Amino acid sequence: MKITMIGTGYVGLVTGTCFAEFGHHITCVDKDTTKIDKLLNGQIPIYEPGLDALVAKNVGEARLSFTSELADAVAGADAVFLAVGTPTSRRGDGYADLTYIYEATKEIAVHLKGYTVIIDKSTVPVGTARQVARIIKEVNPDADFDVASNPEFLREGAAISDFMRPDRVVIGVETARAEAVLRDIYQPLFLQETPIVKTDIETAELTKYAANAFLAAKISFINEIALLCDSIGANVVDLASGIGMDGRIGKKFLHPGPGYGGSCFPKDTLALLRIAQEHGQNLRIVESAVEVNAAQKAMMVKKIRDALGGSEAGKTIACLGLTFKPETDDMRDSPAITILPALAEKGAKIKAHDPQGMKEAKHYLPESMISYVADPYEAAQDADAVILMTEWNQYRALELGKLGKIMNNKVFIDLRNVYRPENLKAQGFTYIGVGRS
């Protein structure tokens, strides 16, 4: 099949590359010529494990190409995926900003040739696909097309395996013709019996928001329970196993931490709340998940302050990890962006390290606030406390003896519960986890 992918961000680039790996012919289009030039030179603008090799392979086998010219890419395509950004609106009202979607739609409309399915891959509010259809009809009344929704469920850092082995594929369509095109696109997954949930367009659009809001609520739930465990002296890790092994609950997404971040959960929960409000409904559980997440970050600041004896002023803190999760360079809504400035404002000196995220982090946490260092031990040199902010593999087996020798005070604040408290204590550290005091 001939497929055009509009947008070469995380979603567009991973999806386009994986479709090419399926055997389809993909043209990825982006207005950002710098990005396209990089891709044409074999450079990948984002860090996603395995993506560079898969892009190189499919470019080499002539199934994947990149361009800034939309016209040729769209004419004659069987399907055009919209995978452009939908950031939270700058108005600060939680709505998703659909400018990029609508701009891309207008441009696509002009160049459509032959029957084409226009598919929303970006996470978009309910009703967007219908707006896309309306715009295309307005711009090009003769166009032969259908619109569809096919939300993505890719986790950054594991996006390729999530794409190749999804739990399910959701397709929202309103004609059999569009359904047939989507089923053809995903045909390679039928062999491994991936379930396809076929539904109407609005339900598909809402499914994405509901999935992310549910997961965000699950994390906020365990984060609150972790705080209770801290107060009681109970152990949230054992508790999470105790509830997670119940098949009705499931053990995934029950890891307490400094709060969820990233490109999806914070943005999508807010957008879902706005969608609900527009329809006269309050989603109180989602509202609470958002509030609890903000409170969790504030609680982490307090936890760190308490660990430093009640004040961070004049203290040196080593922060290991800055990105919102490991295996990505993405800093969007990372808890570090809230927690570290709160400490720096009160006079803490912060030295930070991240295996992939430091370049990106500097946009959010300027060097006037934080010193960026080349390795975790350099960060820990003379530190009054180490904070493990992101659970990168590189931080999972630190040499504790070495760490203890170079620190000023042996305080280890493990915001991801990576370490066994008894191991740290045996090495003379004060260990503070989340829900394991």
As annotated, the active-site residues are 264
By CB under 6 A, is residue 324 in contact with ligand UDX?
Answer: yes
- Bridge-based pairing state of the strands 2-6 and 64-67: unpaired
- Applying CB under 6 A, among 30, 48, 152, 224 the residue interacting with ligand UDX is 152
CB of 154 to ligand UDX, least distance (A): 5
Distances (CA, A) of 261 to 216, 230, 342, 420: 9, 22, 17, 25
Three-state DSSP class for residue 67: strand
Smaller CB separation from ligand UDX, 109 or 206: 206
Smaller CB separation from ligand UDX, 58 or 323: 323
Q: Which two tokens stand for residue 136?
A: 């295309």
Rounded CA gap, 283 and 92, in Å? 19
Window 153 to 172, contacts with ligand UDX (CB under 6 A): 153-156
By CB under 6 A, is residue 257 in contact with ligand UDX?
Answer: yes
Cβ neighbours of residue 204 under 8 Å, at least 6 residues apart? Answer: 148, 149, 150, 151, 170, 171, 172
Q: 131 with 122: CB under 8 angstroms? A: no
Binding window for ligand UDX (CB under 6 A); candidates: 54-62, 134-142, 261-269, 425-433: 261-269
Binding window for ligand UDX (CB under 6 A); candidates: 186-194, 262-270, 283-291, 417-425: 262-270
Torsions phi, psi for 341 (to 5 deg): -60, -35
- Applying CB under 6 A, among 77, 104, 112, 264 the residue interacting with ligand UDX is 264
By CB under 6 A, is residue 254 in contact with ligand UDX?
Answer: yes
By CB under 6 A, is residue 66 in contact with ligand UDX?
Answer: no
Query: Residue type for 35, please?
Result: K
Q: 23 with 63: CB under 8 angstroms? A: yes
Sketch the per residue contact string, 207 through 226, with ligand UDX: x for CB under 6 A, - otherwise.
-----x--x---x-------
User: DSSP assignment of 202-261, as one string?
Assistant: HHHHHHHHHHHHHHHHHHHHHHHHHHHHHHHT--HHHHHHHHHTSTTT-STT----S---
Q: Which residues pair with 196 in a beta bridge?
A: 169
CB of 203 to ligand UDX, least distance (A): 17
Smaller CB separation from ligand UDX, 155 or 274: 155
CB of 406 to ligand UDX, least distance (A): 28
Q: Which residues bind ligand UDX (CB under 6 A)?
A: 152-156, 212, 215, 219, 253-255, 257, 260-262, 264-265, 324-325
